Structure formats: structure tokens, C-alpha cells
Amino acid sequence: MEENAVDSPRVASAVARMRACGERVTPARHAVLRVVDLADRADEHLTAEVIGARVFELAPSVHRATVYRTLTSLTEAGFLSQVHLGGASTIYHLDAPGAAAETDPADAASGPAVEGPPAAGHAHVRCISCGRVLDVPPNAFDSLAARLADGIGFALDPARTALLGTCRACRADTAD
Amino acid sequence: MEENAVDSPRVASAVARMRACGERVTPARHAVLRVVDLADRADEHLTAEVIGARVFELAPSVHRATVYRTLTSLTEAGFLSQVHLGGASTIYHLDAPGAAAETDPADAASGPAVEGPPAAGHAHVRCISCGRVLDVPPNAFDSLAARLADGIGFALDPARTALLGTCRACRADTAD
DNA sequence: CTGCCTGCAAAGGATTTGCACTCAT
DNA sequence: ATGAGTGCAAATCCTTTGCAGGCAG
């Protein structure tokens, strides 16, 4: 009864890892994974609310509340990651294998958590004007991260929050 | 009837500028300015909600709704600036003279709105672990800003949003 | 005096939660 | 079988808004 047939490799991988972790793979969770994966592929950045709406389209039997709970638990379990957009919204990404739980500092004993490269996950900036979210290669933050680490011992996590600014198009508009 | 006696220079300056702009200086607005200024001086970073609470302590006759409205209007008028913390909260700072309205692009006909230097306002980072908000000199973002401007034509505004990460103390804890 | 700002209270919308039930394992 | 995950609906949170009155200018 698994309609995995249409799953992208990413979703399939996430499902497999979930099972391996003892996380249950339910229709609701599956639907959430698919919606988020689809958005990722389309370079869309979806909020919990929108994910809820799409999941509802895809599987009307899945309740909104469940979507919220799923987003929370899958994020905590390391299968999704959330990015805070300046303002109020939070968007979700499907996490690639390899970089899992940073959420649970307790079991971090294997890898370089701070000095090492940010591994997976790109950063984002959002245009104040048009609201569009743009992807930024993580290494763009390297010098800033280094500076913060050096200066105040702060380990920056660039992938977690989007900075604000004005995109090229809107800049042209405003400049007039 | 002005109890300005205890006003810090910053508050006094803001009040003066407000009057000069034709903005009314009411007890409510005055209280908000004082609360925010006090927090600034104490390196505290207050959300609208907390500001509301403090204003209420200071002047119980001022209604919460008024605080929200005041924060909004004074921000738009350029006397306060808001910084989005990753998550959901927004904190407020008392703006120094010199840098005003970027919020209303419509009537921007007098000053350089986009190309100009970010002027006042430092940036922030917030610790995921302890929630503390740390100040960061704006120039720390310079190379990132340059990179974004150069690469995708994006005009970064580092002062508007706080990035997340882990502070030195919490890093020590986690590292164990 | 005029109109901006305020107080009040009620609306608003997104997210969360208690509970009993269902289904994945 | 067993409990994690779910559906439902109500509660909750912060914030916003309509309106009439008050005060700053």
C-alpha cells in the first residue's frame, strides 16, 4: 500500500532513513515530505501554512494540525530543516542525508560541529520589496562566520535564517 | 507637564525630532521611547509584547493596543527601528538621528534610499541555545554584502535581521 | 479649534493542545 | 498488540481594528 512509486529519490531516502530511525512513516508524514520535496525542486519556499494547504490538496484526509505536528517532529528528528525568514514566516526544506541532528546537541560527538564546513544547506536572503526568497551559496557567509567565531566565539549557522535586503529588480524600481 | 526631566539625551533628541517632523509627542509615545531607550542602554532586546508590559508598568493608563500602534508608527516615521529575530519575534531599537524612513518608498524623493550607506544601526546574532542576542558591528557584514551585490545584485540590509548560531558559552556547554 | 492619537473591546488568524481512535510496526 | 501518530474542535496566543472621545499643536 505504499504509493512510493512517484517518490523522488530524496523522499525515498528520507523515508528510508526515517524507518531506520524508528520513525513511523504515515500517509500524513509521507505527504508532507512529498510537498516539501516538490517545493524544493521548484525553488519554492513554503511556510507551514502553505504546506498545510498543499498537503490538504494532495491528501484531504490529513488534518492541518497534523501537518504542524509533522513539520515539528520531522524537523526535530532531522529530516526537515526550517529557515526563519525575517518577519514572521518560517519555511521548510527537505534535509539531505549526511547532515542530520544539530537539534540535539547531546549526541554530537562524531563530527566537527563548529570549525568544519557548513556541510549541506544553502543560505537565503529575502527581498523586502517583493518578498522573493533567493538562494545564496553557504560559503558566501564564510568570512562573516570566521569573523564572528574569531571575534566573539559565536558559531554562525547561516542556513537557519534569511537576511533581508532588496533584490536587483526591486532596486531598479526604487531607484527610479 | 513634560516629565522630560529624566529623559536620556537619546530620548530627548527623538522627542525633538518628532516635534520637528510634526509627530505628536504624547504620554504613550514618550513612555514607549523611554522603555526602548532604557532597554538599549542595558543591552536588552525587547519585543513588542515586552515593551507593552514595561510601558504598562511605567504608565498603566497606556493601553497595549496603543503600544503596538506606537511601535508601528514610530518605526515608519524613522524614530525606531525593528530587527527581526529568527523565529517569530521582532525587537526594537531607538534610532539615532541621521537615518530615517526607508519604510515608505513612495515618498522617497529627497535622499538616497538604496545606494546610500546603511548609516546607523548595528547587526545582531542570536544564540539558538540561550536565546541571547548579541550585537555585531555592521562592517562585519561588508564582505558578504559586497559579495551579494556583486553576485546577484542584492542590496543586503544586515541591520534588519538577526542571524542564528551558538554563542561561546553555549558552545562550551554543547561541546562538553 | 482640528485632527492625530488614544482607550476600550472585540475581531482576527495562525498555531497548539486534549482527547479518543487508528494504523504502522 | 501497542503506542506513536492522527483527526477533530476548541483554546490560545499575539496582534490588529472600529469607534468615540481626548489631547497635542
Enumerate the residues of chain A whose CB falls inside 8 A of the CB of residue B91: none
Tell me what the mean pLDDT of segment A105-116 comes to: 36
Q: Report percent pLDDT > 90 for chain B.
A: 70
Residue B77's pLDDT is 95
Chain B residues with CB within 8 Å of chain A CB: 84, 86-88, 105, 108, 113-115, 125, 127-129, 134, 136, 140-141, 143-144, 147-148, 151-158, 160-168, 171, 173-175
**Dist CA B10 CA B8 (whole Å):** 5
Q: At what angle do helices B48-58 and B27-41 cross, to 10 degrees?
A: 110
The pLDDT of residue B5 is 61
- Under DSSP, the state recorded for B128 is T
pLDDT at position A103 over 80: no
> From CA B49, how far away is CA A169, in angstroms rounded?
35
- Global pTM? 0.83
pLDDT 10s digits, B101-144: 443 333 333 333 333 333 457 899 999 888 889 999 888 999 99
Q: How far is A174 from chain B (nearest CA, A)?
A: 7
pLDDT at B93 over 90: yes
Q: Single out the residue of A38, A126, A133, A121 nearest to residue A82, CA to CA.
A: A121
